[in-house]
Amino acid sequence: MAQSHGLERVRQRLGGYLPSASVGSDTNLSWYAIVLPKVILFAVILLIPFIGAFYISLHKWAPLAQSHPFVGLDNYVRLFNDPVFWDAIINTAGYSMALLVFDVPIALGLALLLNMNLRGTKFYSAAIFLPVVTSWVVVSLIWSWLYNPEYGLINAALGTIGLPQLSWLQSSSTALASIALMSIWKHVGFNMVIFLAGLKGIPDDLYEAAIVDGASRWQRFRYVTLPLLKPTSFFVIVVTLIFSFRVYTQVYVMTQGGPVRSTYTIVYYFWQTGFQQFEMGYASAIAVVLFLIVFGLSIFQQRTWGDDVGY
């Protein structure tokens, strides 16, 4: 670049006098003016409410009550003895595991196929990514129609090829799995694109060298692709886990937690206690536990990933 060339000459004349890491050490105040609006927002909208959540969780807190008595850890004790909360934890964990076990490998498989650079790759990736850009409310409504036991397209298709038909969202044994299945359909394109970005980042000469060494297709995948894809895989796994723990909208739209609590999730239960029953202290305790779970997962991410963690 011409500009940096000229600067190099200036730098030589000044004898390396220029600071290299940053600009404008003399105008500190300007930096504060630039960064402060966002910092104030962080503080007022995220940080103070975050601390507030801990505080409220130690109280019996109804929004319109005159006083909010301090109850210590009572909300947490109640939480641990609350079968509905444990149902919610188990359901959320099950949902997350389903996404990990199916979503991630399918996304990797699709990315590998798209990386073959076949004709029509643009069309394929556009189609597979389509559900990602559509909102959860929209896909939840479309799928609750697809899942309809009498009129839905899925049972009609199963019936045509002679397979048994299911009651999907109406049965407590299949409702959560049905929501997970739809979520995989909605989300798989996102992970696929991240995997694809990872695959494109593997230098060609590594494959060329492997071919020269006589490595078979499988060996190239096993000894070049997989190891170099490790950071991307960790990213995909952890982000999928973190976001699947926040599952809410699908449940609200498709099943309202039912049938018989089989689709209660942590965030759905949080919303119900906080904004339906207005037990905000108890809801905050649920939120704090959710935070601890997600925080634990993030620590795991940092451990496995080292210092320069993306997100």
Partner 1 sequence: MTLGTNETEPEPKPESEPDHKLEFDDGRPNIEQERSWYDTLAKGVAHVILIAASAIMTIPFIWAFLTSLKPENKIFTTIKQIIPANPTFANYVNVWLQNPLDRWVLNSLVLAVGVVFFTLVLDTLAGYALAKGDFRGKSIVYTLVIGTLVIPPQVVLVPLYLEMNAVNWSNTYWAIMVLYIANPFGTFMMRQFFLGIPDSLIEAARMDGCSIFQIYTRIMLPLAKPALASLGVFTFIFVWGAFLWPLVILNDSAMYPLQVGIGLLTGRYSSQWGQLLAAVILAALPVISAYLLAQRTFMEGIALTGGKG
Site for partner 1 in 121-160 (CB under 8 A): 121-131, 133-139, 141-146, 151, 153, 156
- The smaller minimum CB distance to partner 1, of residues 81 and 119, is found at 119
> Which positions from 228 to 247 touch partner 1 by CB under 8 A, shown as an x/- string?
---xx-xxx-----x--xx-
For residues 49-88, one letter each, b for 16 or more C-beta atoms within 10 angstroms of the residue's C-beta and e for the rest, the string is eeeebeebbbbbbeeeeeebeebeebbbeebeebeebebb
Distance between CA atoms of 293 and 267, rounded to whole angstroms? 12
Residues 185-204 that bind partner 1 (CB under 8 A): 185, 189-190, 193-194, 196-198, 200-201, 204
**Closest CB 161 distance from partner 1, rounded Å:** 15
Distance between CA atoms of 169 and 177, rounded to whole angstroms? 9
311 binds partner 1 (CB under 8 A): yes
- The smaller minimum CB distance to partner 1, of residues 23 and 173, is found at 23
Locus of tokens 């109850």: 71
Distance between CA atoms of 25 and 13, rounded to whole angstroms? 21
Task: Single out the residue of 196, 148, 153 nearest to residue 169, CA to CA.
Answer: 148
**Closest CB 300 distance from partner 1, rounded Å:** 12
> Which positions from 262 to 281 touch partner 1 by CB under 8 A, shown as an x/- string?
-----x--xx--xx----x-
86 binds partner 1 (CB under 8 A): no
SS3 70: strand
Q: Please select the residue that binds partner 1; options are 62, 71, 228, 253, rule is CB under 8 A.
A: 253
**Closest CB 90 distance from partner 1, rounded Å:** 19
Number of residues that bind partner 1 (CB under 8 A): 118
Locus of tokens 């807190």: 61
Residues 40-69 that bind partner 1 (CB under 8 A): 41-42, 44-50, 52-53, 55-56, 63
List CB contacts of 88: < 8 A, sequence separation 6 or more: 264, 265, 266, 268, 269
Is the Cα dihedral 210, 211, 216, 218 positive or negative?
positive
List CB contacts of 92: < 8 A, sequence separation 6 or more: 244, 245, 247, 265, 266
Residues 14-43 that bind partner 1 (CB under 8 A): 18-25, 27-28, 30-32, 34-35, 37-39, 41-42
**Closest CB 166 distance from partner 1, rounded Å:** 17
Distance between CA atoms of 79 and 282, rounded to whole angstroms? 8
- The smaller minimum CB distance to partner 1, of residues 121 and 172, is found at 121
- The smaller minimum CB distance to partner 1, of residues 48 and 173, is found at 48
167 class by beta-carbon count within 10 Å (0-12 exposed, 13-18 middle, 19+ buried)? middle
**Closest CB 59 distance from partner 1, rounded Å:** 11
Q: Please select the residue that binds partner 1; options are 252, 257, 262, 264, rule is CB under 8 A.
A: 252
Q: Please select the residue that binds partner 1; options are 77, 163, 208, 222, rule is CB under 8 A.
A: 208
Measured at the CA of 152, the angle between CA 151 and CA 155, to 5 degrees, comes to 105
9 binds partner 1 (CB under 8 A): no
- The smaller minimum CB distance to partner 1, of residues 173 and 189, is found at 189
Q: For 162, what's the count of Cα atoms within 13 Å in the CB-facing half-sphere?
A: 0
Peptide linkage before 259 cis (omega within 30 of 0): yes
**Closest CB 209 distance from partner 1, rounded Å:** 10
